[in-house]
Structure 1
Amino acid sequence: MAHHDLPAGLPRAAAGRAEHRLRSFARLGKLDVYDYYLSILVVLAAVLLPVARFDRPTATMLVVFLLGQVFVIMAMVALDDVTGFRDGSDTQNYGPDNPLRNKLRKPLVAGTLTEREALGFAWVTALIGALLWAAAVTLAPHRPTWALVLIGALFVVSLQYSYGLKISYHGFQEAFLVALGVVLVVAPYGLAEGRFSGFLLVQGVLFGFGPLMFGVYSNTNDVEGDRAVGRPTVAALVSERGNAVFIGCLSAAEFLLGAVASATGIAPWWFVLLMLPATALRTKQFVTGFVRGDIMRARRTGFRVHRLSVALLVAANLLVGSGAAG
């Protein structure tokens, strides 16, 4: 992640020459933040073994679903940038008073793209994403109704996250981030296997905690901008101490979910132990943010936690699939 902002007061025309337009579109779609797309690795690990049963239609469906996921999420974050630019929150959060944020990551604020270009990008990527997800459903070995409903709902809600209905402006931002992770795990699993799995649901929630837990640290840093535009994140609604308690409770809940799943038999007994490295790193994230007071470094640690969690979830599914761990 770059750390060099454009100088304060740089004219929009000069900012627009700072980088190639395609790079600006890639930034608008947040293609460098690939963490949402790691869900497909969790699903692949859950359906891969035994290899003799893993067929080409399933593999093709997973690839097409992933491509659709990339385009839908690009549309979602582009619309989020349009709204953040219109209401002024991005201008404040990425302005000269916040030198830790790289203005080029927000092409509308930097002036490297126009609002019309951003909207066009969002609607084109949304359409491509919809077509790819429809193709994935057509190619899927199974089409359980619940999976189709989840995919359709996620598509509609994603486009309304910060635009249109502006769901994230009505107090549902944190819940949506977890729900996003859940659907991106359980829906393609349903298309591949034709059944629901409680263990995959647990994994979906844990996957959703990744975006949630770097999202809440971002919200902590952006609290003044969000309050100014009436975006009701938890950080904006409660005191600094209350926000710290909230994030501490989320961190504990992540561990407890795995512990309860192991204790009740939804997950293997060893699952909570396997996830302990992620729990330890999550604890370090909290200490960095709220004991040492370095919120942005804690946010970066959140990406490491998420990627480690995905690796551990993949390992868990491969162990279950191979029968190596009872």
Structure 2
Amino acid sequence: MTSDLHSAPRGAAVTRPESKARSYVRLGNLDVYDYYLSILVVASAVLVPLSAARPGTVPMLLLFLLGALGTIVAMVAFDDLTGYRDGSDVVNYGPNDPLRKKLRKPLVAGTLTEAEALRFGWITAAAGAVLWTGAVLVAPAAPLWTVLLVAATFVIALQYSYGIKLSYRGFQELFLVALGVALVLAPYGLATGRFSEFVLVQAVLFGMGPLMFGVYSNTNDVEGDRGVGRVTVAALTSPRGNALFIGALSLAEFLIGAVASATGLAPWWFVLLMLPASALRARQYHLGFRVGDIMRARRVGFAVHRLCVALLIVANLLVGLGVAG
């Protein structure tokens, strides 16, 4: 155990010593892997049938996944650093919120210092930049729009709660969706060299997943966010207004699939395939705003997203294998 109680960051309360390695894993939020599932959606769209895949596709996908890992870990580390410095994480993960585990925030727990977190963030960001550059270089195709999308995603991701601090300025909800969209569209474009309307529909639905557990987190963290001026819908509106907003997002997610099926952007059966995810989303809303258990509803949000990913993969397999048109 390498934690030193005497070097704990100011304001932190150490709950128990923990290895540095474990603390860095927590800082990178590596147990929340939901954005990384985008590569499975893309792989199912470009590798089936395997004979149609262009040379270099698999190495590109692997490099893109590793680059996403580095970039998102850096983003999360910088978010924790900012949340610790402004005091919002101390409030949200403090003794008044027994539902949160303080060790999930190493700076609050005192298992890492600010300098260690900052250094970790920049090292992983540099790794992300190198790996994404490698993905572009080995890609079967690299149309300009995909190169620009990869570059913009990298730069903007680091501004989420650091630098410009987009999540503090009212862009958090939009960012959570946009990041998911980019993580699907960019590798698809690098693999195929083209744009697909059906893949765009999948990308938006994929991006809705992180948004729909993010807004429940914001609902729980509303007081801490308001205290530091972090602009989220939950912090700006009344509880009823926030509930209506999340209800509208839940409905919009279903309508995206329904409209895509009705207009031919997706196969006619796509909306039917996605119904299990839509039903579970409705349960999430019921738990959060009818039962009043926001954190349990947030956990259901992870299940919805992972089910959605599985269904998107099934959709791509059906199309790729010619089973359903």
Relative to the length of structure 1, the TM-score reads 0.95
1:232-311 aligned within 5 A: 232-311=231-310
What is the Cα deviation at residue 16 of structure 1?
7.8
What is the Cα deviation at residue 18 of structure 1?
1.9
Q: Which amino acid aligns with 1:206?
A: L
In 1, Cα distance between equivalents of 2:55 and 2:92: 46
Tell me if the contact between 2:208 and 2:253 (Cα under 8 Å) persists in the aligned partners: yes
What is the Cα deviation at residue 15 of structure 1?
2.6
Residues 9-56 of structure 1 show CA distances to partners (whole Å, capped at 9, x for unaligned) of xx9898385211000000000001011100000000000112112255
Query: What is the root-mean-square deviation of aligned Cα atoms in Å?
Result: 1.6
Residues 61-88 of structure 1 show CA distances to partners (whole Å, capped at 9, x for unaligned) of 1001000000100000000000000000
Tell me if the contact between 2:12 and 2:107 (Cα under 8 Å) persists in the aligned partners: no
Please say which of residues 203-212 and 50-59 is displaced more in the overlay. Answer: 50-59
Q: Which amino acid aligns with 1:109?
A: V
Please say which of residues 15-24 and 178-187 is displaced more in the overlay. Answer: 15-24
Task: Give 3-state SS (helix, strand or coil) of 2:189's partner.
Answer: helix
1:141-180 aligned within 5 A: 141-180=140-179
Q: Determine the structure 2 residue equivalent to 1:4.
A: none
Q: Determine the structure 1 residue equivalent to 2:124.
A: 125
Tell me if the contact between 1:262 and 1:268 (Cα under 8 Å) persists in the aligned partners: yes
In 2, Cα distance between equivalents of 1:66 and 1:147: 15
Tell me if the contact between 1:16 and 1:113 (Cα under 8 Å) persists in the aligned partners: no
Tell me if the contact between 1:12 and 1:110 (Cα under 8 Å) persists in the aligned partners: no
Tell me if the contact between 2:167 and 2:230 (Cα under 8 Å) persists in the aligned partners: yes
In 1, Cα distance between equivalents of 2:292 and 2:48: 44
In 2, Cα distance between equivalents of 1:165 and 1:49: 40
The alpha-carbon distance between structure 1 residues 251 and 13, as it changes in their structure 2 partners (threshold 3 A), is: closer
Relative to the length of structure 2, the TM-score reads 0.96
What is the Cα deviation at residue 164 of structure 1?
0.6
The gaps in structure 1 that reach 5 residues or longer are 1-10
Q: Determine the structure 1 residue equivalent to 2:107.
A: 108
Q: Which amino acid aligns with 2:308?
A: S
Residues 86-134 of structure 1 show CA distances to partners (whole Å, capped at 9, x for unaligned) of 0000000000000000000000000000000000000000000000000
Question: Does 2:78 align with 1:89?
Answer: no
Q: Determine the structure 2 residue equivalent to 1:187.
A: 186
Tell me if the contact between 1:71 and 1:126 (Cα under 8 Å) persists in the aligned partners: yes
Q: Determine the structure 2 residue equivalent to 1:7.
A: none
Tell me if the contact between 2:288 and 2:296 (Cα under 8 Å) persists in the aligned partners: yes
In 2, Cα distance between equivalents of 1:107 and 1:14: 10
Q: Which amino acid aligns with 2:109?
A: A
In 2, Cα distance between equivalents of 1:14 and 1:179: 35
Please say which of residues 25-34 and 55-64 is displaced more in the overlay. Answer: 55-64
In 1, Cα distance between equivalents of 2:152 and 2:258: 30
* Residue-pair matches, total: 318
In 1, Cα distance between equivalents of 2:324 and 2:273: 11
Tell me if the contact between 2:68 and 2:128 (Cα under 8 Å) persists in the aligned partners: yes
Q: Which amino acid aligns with 1:143?
A: A
Question: Does 2:301 align with 1:316?
Answer: no
The gaps in structure 2 that reach 5 residues or longer are 1-9
Tell me if the contact between 2:55 and 2:140 (Cα under 8 Å) persists in the aligned partners: no
Q: Determine the structure 2 residue equivalent to 1:48.
A: 47
